Amino acid sequence: MARIERLYLSNTDRKIAGVCGGIGERFDIDSTVVRLLMVFFALVTAIFPVVITYIVAWLIIPQKPSLPEFDE
C-alpha cells in the first residue's frame, strides 16, 4: 500500500510560521522559491489575498509530530 505524504508546518525551515518551508519540504523544492512565489503573488494580487491564505494555512496545517517514524 502506498504511503500518503502529508503536509506539515516545517519545524526547521521557518521564517514566520513554517508554511513555505513545509510546502517546500512536501514537494521537495527549495523553500526560497516558494517564498519568492508568495511575494510575487502578493504583489500581483494587492497583498491581501495572499496574507489571508497564509494565515488560514498557518491555522489549518498541523505541526509535524516528533515521533521516530517522522524523523528524517
Report yes or no: 34 and 26 within 8 Å, Cβ to Cβ. Answer: no
pLDDT at residue number 63: 92
Average pLDDT, the chain: 90
pLDDT at residue number 51: 94
As a 3-state breakdown, the chain gives helix, strand, coil percent values, each rounded to 5, of 55, 5, 45
pLDDT at residue number 69: 60
DSSP, collapsed to helix, strand or coil, labels residue 68 as: helix
Strand partners, 46: none
pLDDT at 70 over 60: no
pTM score of the predicted model: 0.82
pLDDT at residue number 22: 95
